[in-house]
Structure 1
């Protein structure tokens, strides 16, 4: 299918019939839709983070014989290893909650078509030859790591090989962190961004608008206090994932590339450097 025709079909239908809306009303509608996209994303992220933090705190307190309702002055001081494990558990639970919220909302709004809303089953798309996707998968880790290295140098951030995991992590904690970073986080983020939010953005934006909007949201969600290096380092990945979502009409290629990209970065960081 030609790209121009595909973009027309994927773009919101304007229709010749019906009253013509004024530019001011069109701008107001676009602003409302854009704000709705941002606020919905933030609501999912904040809800998942707060609930995960509360569950981990209460659950860990009960397991350790601590009264969850005790004041800070009466709470025993936790060891650094306990704090790190709580942080990892909170990260993992947050991503699981994001998955649950996104799928639950899709089922509530789409019923039996919820998989299609999240592009877990094919939607109409221009298509992408398997050979081209294979080339992208093979080349992407090198391109992504080069971009991240360049970004780190430009913003004077530390990024190098032979970094090593935190010594405070136990073996099980390290395995859990790796599973979270390489698999769980990409799955949850893709369900939210290239699944639910891309579908929502496509209702009022053309394909490249939806790609740019979800890419900007994805990058901003990784903003760190005092630095923009992290969001900037993720811009090419976000754009590529959005492009894959549009061209394939499926979420699975996005998840696969995101997992592969995270695995490559983690492997690069943990790989022993030159002696």
Structure 2
């Protein structure tokens, strides 16, 4: 499971970096194979757009890789493997799912802010987006946060990895294993605050995957959590 997660994330990152580097360079009339000392200065706006393109393409490649793995392992049953089919009934009533979606942002924000305080991490309200992002880029960024990233990450975590873990560990083991991998995948130079802040969300997503038997509720909760946290951070005084 860990090897699969690392391989998928690494491959998606390398592919996105290569495509953006070559594609943006060719579009700008730059030889993508120039040595660093001969490359022209790109400017802050161009660098911001390239960074966003890398993030977005990484999720696209990640989703494609996971679906490809599922097809290879399950053939025509890949949708069932990734919990994208409708053959089994939803094990959770819509009103219960709606209640969870309504309550969850408050719990998520409280935990994330509390975790940041405990770890002394930088986490402040009333932050601003980069002035180098156009309105179209901001809209694309919100779509990335609320839809693209949740779809790709849930396909990997609560899709393929959950299916593998459940074969040997059962539902509880699959929930814990995928939660641990999900949190570990968010370790950064800022320390443990980020992965620890995601543990409740990871456990809730795993429980939702088991309870409903489907992936889309996990995507909805993941995307809603991202959007609520961003709204909290950007909300003006």
The equivalent residue for 1:158 is: 122
Q: What is the aligned residue count? A: 237
CA contact (8 A) 1:107 1:113 kept: yes
Q: How does 1:69-88 map to 2 (within 5 A)?
A: 69-88=33-52
Q: Max radius of gyration: which structure?
A: 1
TM-score for the superposition, normalised by structure 1: 0.83
Q: For 2:226, which of 258, 262, 266 is the aligned residue?
A: 262
Offset at 1:122? 4.5
The equivalent residue for 1:193 is: 157
Q: For 2:172, which of 200, 208, 226 is the aligned residue?
A: 208
Q: How does 1:106-185 map to 2 (within 5 A)?
A: 106-122=70-86, 127-185=91-149
Shift in alpha-carbon separation, 1:227–1:123, aligned structure 2, 3 A: farther
CA contact (8 A) 2:154 2:218 kept: yes
Gaps of 5+ in 2: none
Which structure has the highest helix share of the two?
Answer: 2
Q: Secondary structure at the match of 1:205?
A: helix
RMSD of the TM alignment (CA)? Answer: 1.5
Per-residue displacement from partner, 1:238-264 (whole Å, max 9, x unpaired)? 000000001111001101111111111
Are residues 1:244 and 2:208 paired? yes
Per-residue displacement from partner, 1:31-75 (whole Å, max 9, x unpaired)? xxxxxx000000000000001000000001101111111111111
* Distance of 1:175 and 1:148 partners within structure 2: 24
TM-score for the superposition, normalised by structure 2: 0.96
Q: How does 1:6-21 map to 2 (within 5 A)?
A: none
The equivalent residue for 1:96 is: 60
The equivalent residue for 1:218 is: 182
CA contact (8 A) 1:126 1:246 kept: no
Shift in alpha-carbon separation, 1:178–1:83, aligned structure 2, 3 A: same
